[in-house]
Chain A
Amino acid sequence: MDTRRGALAVPKVRRVGFFTPTEPPPESSQRPNRSQSGPVEATTSSSPLSDSPSGNLISPVLIPPSRHHSDNLTSHAAAPVPVPGPAAFRRYLAHDRSLHIGSYNAPDSLLGTSPPSSNGEFSEDSVSLFGFQRSDSTKLSASFPNGGFDLTLAVRAPQEPETKIATASASEGKKKIAEVSGKSESVTTKPQKEKEPKSLKDKTTKAERRAIQEAQRAAKGEGKRHADESGKANPGMAAKKPQPKKERPPVTSSVSEKTAVAVEKEKRMDVPQTQMQYDDKSRVDKAKRRAVVEQTEIKNKVELFLHLPQYERGNQLPNLSSSFFTLDTIHHAVYKVGLQHLAGDISGDNARCIAMLQAFQEAIKDYTTPPMKDLTMDLTTKINGYVSFLIECRPLSMSMGNAIRFLKNQIRKLPVNLSEPEAKASLCSDIGRFIDEKIILADKVIVQHAVTKIRDGEVLLTYGFSCVVEMILLYAHEIGKKFRIVIVDARPNLEGQKLLRRLVTRGLDCTYTHINAISYIMREATRVFLGASSIFSNGTLYSKVGTACVAMVANAFSVPVIVCCEAYKFHERVLLDSICSNELGDPDAVANIPSFITKAKQSKMMDNNKNLQFLNLMYDSTPSEYISMIVSDYGMIPPTSIPVIVREYRRENLLL
């Protein structure tokens, strides 16, 4: 087992993102669950909560934890709904996409399962967009043969709340599996062992890969036979484990029970996905072939960021808008939002998320289930298609990822006996509720909390543009607090100017400066308010590039740094640096300075220089020690409490 894990440590493909080698285990640990539990039980039951550590942590006073901040919410519910303006955080990186991709290729990349036969379209779809991940995941799944999960189970479980469900039943499930896997292993170990040394190498030749595939296919066939023998309880399970990756749409498996499929699907969605690595040529090519949006890569790429998508922007917009009326796979509302993302008309995490959800709402309204198809299945496939289109337009943000995860959960949880119009209405109202409660009301709660930290005579420093921070400042001004604002801005987006304009027109006292002057201006500040794109469970703040700099300087001057972030943006992942997960903006934006008279000439000269690369990073990560406080809709909490919120409420967020 150890040697097999060793193979993971040196994967064939350079893994930069959240490509943790421990990722397969949770999947495999869930496998037993799939065969055992009914579809609904796994997600919705509250039992996982009581099993989780939190259950035992009940307070000294024995008070059962109440639910959300609903008191606060209801008190503000009547207030008018502000439309959050575009926020400072524009683009998100590929790692979020994993969430959505997750539902696409989870079976392929992590389990090596063939998609269930009952929805051929689904599998087709997943292949079409992200089939490229397969070859890689072969290695992953291969290096974790049948029994592998119990070794890594413990490691992974605490990080991934969803897997908790599985762990409970895993122990029982393990026994069953053991029988099955015991048999299949005897057959499959050989090909796997054969393969391991290869996965250690950096490259395998095509011939070698072919050989491996053949071996695996053979092994799979064997495994299937064994599985059939060992009982119907878990058909196809044994078959899946040793299953190799195939470069073409996988053979449909024999699983036809709908319940089993539903549970499995659920699992897939819950597991954090591996991120596409854009420095893997073959996969990128495959992805391109399937893409709706034609993208051209930029010429001089920065070596360190090759794993991120680096496409030229702007040139594909005309093509896309012309095909607006011809494209029938994508709903027009979604298409519109996609184009808006692409063109940068909508920026800011909340705005993008709301726009996307509203587009989905419209798409669901216009949706009709095709004959002979199931609404749950077909709609999920549709949504997956929309999401992948949106990703092509611009990588999703973490918050959008969470929202999509929520939507898919809602679809999955629809009662079977619901009629189509009812189901659609319920989904639409769910989406509306998400927007209201998780974004708009959350912002109001945040404003209420944050305003208590503004005293008269203070100098508040903010960076870039965050709609929550703007709301806080305006509200504090409204209730008559006397304070001054320092707006720190940075090229190339200069979003702070927008904030400056809005605040000045409302009569607030502002100072505007660029980030170059941060160490000078920080002397004056008494509080720093920052927005967030996401906060990870190690407390790392992921936000507009430059935020880390501001936070660090503030820390050096012992100015408290207050981060305002809605709880739906929290993510259970851990982020350590800004490299593995980021988004690259238009490099020309860095190169071109508006005031340059000879701009065209300059950039031409620069473009032709092979030794010159432009890097326009969109985000950076701020370690938690530079953050004094996080204001979220759960109140004011220290950054060390993010995992608690994620652990305690993630499930409920899904339930909502």
Chain B
Amino acid sequence: MWRRSPSFILDRTSSSPPMAADTTRTPIQNPDSISAYYQTRAAHHGVITSEWLSQAQAAVGGVVSGDEHPVSSLNELGNEKSFNVIEEFNSWRKQPDLAEAVAAIRALAAVIRASEATTMMELEIELKKASDTLKSWDKTSISLTAGCDLFIRYVTRTSALEYEDFNSAKSRLLERAEKFGEISCKARRIIAMLSQDFIFDGCTILVHGLSRVVLEILKTAAQNNKLFRVLCTEGRPDGTGVLLSSELSKLDIPVKLLLDSAVAYSMDEVDMVFVGADGVVESGGIINMMGTYQIALVAHSMNKPVYVAAESYKFARLYPLDQKDMAPALRPIEFGLKIPTKVEVERSARDYTPPQYLTLLFTDLGVLSPSVVSDELIQLYL
């Protein structure tokens, strides 16, 4: 499946995490103003601001919740089906260890399972509809879009002619969707192993945001008895840095927490910067949590390498030209003090870092320079 992936680097095959379907689902309508993606992330982090809670509750109100298993609930027809895709997706998304793209693909797999289509074409159309609803439901999530695209791409390229009958083709698709969960986990391991060569004894690593991949990298480095120090940015307003630093201190890694504004101040003692990514775009740049761009700028001007850890399913066919050239992902921000209503608040949750400020991308396809991203995407989508 991952033919070109350097998975040989894994000494042992990682088992996929138990994928018990979450039965307690809270089907929430996507509130317009707030990025669902960041809501989920915030939920995973366990940092829920009071404002967010109230908004979430307001959003949940009025939506009927059921106890049905999401998969079985898909055996309905018409308009309800598209609605169910979202439910399904949300139920998968609740699992903190499961990546957004994988959740999307699982949801689409559920669509296949529930589908009564008898031809590949029908199935394709059904899937397309489902993925469109998913995508339009949360436009801010890049990995959701990328995951849907990826899966649709696979389905459209799998000709039913390759298989004797439609059912075997269908089961092949399902099997593949299942594998995605595995891949997601395996990809993190691969990236962690690949990045070990870059972490040397005595180095200081600056980390921004709470990325599961970056955490995996640091964990692996600690397990390999590397001696290094981590500087964590605070990561307002989610407090991601606080979470990450507590995780790292559990692993006995020396860690120091910084204010987001103290990046330039401490940059001269930093040897490398590690960030995750919400999405990797066609130019080779990344879209990531707010603050990544300025850290990359500071690091670039001080000639420090910036490494990005991202799984390949985050590669998206987007090409932002500047910061405003993407769908804004808004989130609530707590300032502690009361803010006069006349004061405008920048609530965007992420920024775009152009490729020239990135040194390397660690992906499960290998360690890539930013320009290779586009090559991979061209091969994938064209």
Contacts and interface: CB of A to CB of B under 8 A. Distances in A.
B216 to A, nearest CB: 18
B200 interface: no
A562 B321 contact: yes
Contacts of A636: 282, 319
Contacts of A629: 283, 319, 321
Nearest to B317: A635
Contacts of B157: 63-64, 66
A637 B372 CA distance: 11
A638 B4 contact: no
B313 A560 contact: no
A506 interface: no
B382 A641 contact: no
Given A61-B154, A638-B282, A638-B283, A644 B375 contact: yes
Nearest to A637: B374
Interface string A216-232: 00000000000000000
B66 to A, nearest CB: 33
B371 interface: yes
Interface string B316-333: 010101101100000000
B379 interface: yes
Contact of B371 (A63, A68, A527, A641): A641
A97 to B, nearest CB: 30
Given A60-B5, A638-B282, A638-B371, A644 B378 contact: yes
A60 B154 contact: no
B374 A58 contact: no
Q: Which among A65, A455, A634, A641 has the greatest number of chain B C-beta atoms within 10 A? A: A641
A634 B319 CA distance: 13
Nearest to B2: A60
A252 interface: no
Contacts of B150: 61, 63
Contacts of A648: 378-379, 382
A645 B4 CA distance: 20
A72 to B, nearest CB: 11
Contact of B321 (A58, A527, A637, A640): A527
B355 A638 contact: yes
A636 B325 CA distance: 14
A69 interface: yes
Contact of A57 (B156, B379, B381): B379
Interface string B295-335: 00000000000000000110001010110110000000000
B12 interface: no
A66 B365 CA distance: 20
In this complex, the interface size class of chain B, counting residues with CB under 8 Å from chain A, is 20 to 34
A63 B325 CA distance: 29
Nearest to A71: B156
Interface in B150-181: 150, 153-154, 156-157
Query: Interface centre among B157, B364, B379, by most A CB within 10 Å?
Result: B379
Given A62-B3, A560-B321, A629-B283, A634 B313 contact: no
Contact of B4 (A60, A453, A637): A60
Interface string A162-191: 000000000000000000000000000000
B374 A638 contact: yes
Contacts of A562: 321
Nearest to B187: A60
A623 to B, nearest CB: 14
A56 B380 contact: no
A641 B321 contact: no
B322 to A, nearest CB: 6
Interface string A541-562: 0000000000000000000101
Nearest to A624: B371
B313 A65 contact: no
A628 interface: yes
B376 interface: yes
B1 interface: yes
B276 interface: no
A3 interface: no
A628 B321 contact: yes
Interface in B113-165: 150, 153-154, 156-157
A611 interface: no
B284 interface: yes
Contacts of B156: 66
A648 B157 CA distance: 18
A454 to B, nearest CB: 11
A59 B313 CA distance: 10
B314 to A, nearest CB: 11
A52 to B, nearest CB: 12
Interface in B345-382: 355, 364-365, 371, 374-376, 378-382
A315 interface: no
Given A527-B321, A629-B283, A635-B317, A69 B382 contact: yes
Contacts of A635: 282, 317, 381-382
A63 B380 contact: yes
A46 interface: no
A57 B382 contact: no
A317 B317 CA distance: 51
Interface string A594-637: 00000000000000000000000000000000001100001111
Contacts of A640: 284, 371, 374
A65 B282 contact: no
Nearest to B283: A638
Contacts of A204: none
B301 to A, nearest CB: 15
A429 interface: no
Contacts of A638: 282-284, 319, 355, 371, 374
A59 B380 contact: yes
Nearest to A527: B321
Contact of B312 (A57, A60, A64): A60
A223 B236 CA distance: 79
Contacts of B317: 635
A60 B365 contact: yes
Contacts of B183: 60
B121 to A, nearest CB: 15
B379 A61 contact: no
B117 to A, nearest CB: 21
Contacts of B2: 60, 62
Point out which of B150, B319, B322 has the most chain A C-beta atoms below 10 A from its C-beta: B319
Interface in B79-128: none
A560 B371 CA distance: 17
A493 interface: no
B143 to A, nearest CB: 14
A645 B378 contact: yes
Query: Which of B1, B4, B324 is most buried by chain A, counting CB atoms within 10 A of its CB?
Result: B4
A54 interface: yes
A305 to B, nearest CB: 33
Contacts of B153: 61, 63
A431 B241 CA distance: 61
A57 B382 CA distance: 13
Contact of A637 (B1, B5, B312, B378): B378
Q: Which of B4, B321, B325, B381 neighbours the largest number of chain A CB atoms within 10 Å of its CB?
A: B321
A645 B365 CA distance: 20
A417 B198 CA distance: 62
Nearest to B378: A644
B75 to A, nearest CB: 28
A58 B379 contact: yes
Given A57-B376, A68-B382, A641-B378, 14 more contacts: A54-B379, A57-B379, A59-B380, A60-B4, A60-B364, A60-B365, A61-B150, A62-B1, A62-B2, A62-B3, A65-B380, A628-B283, A635-B382, A638-B319
What 4 A-B pairs come out closest when comparing CB atoms?
Answer: A640-B371, A560-B321, A641-B374, A59-B380
22 contacts: A54-B379, A57-B4, A57-B379, A58-B3, A58-B379, A63-B154, A64-B157, A65-B379, A69-B382, A453-B321, A527-B321, A560-B321, A628-B283, A629-B319, A629-B321, A634-B378, A635-B381, A638-B374, A641-B375, A644-B375, A645-B378, A648-B379
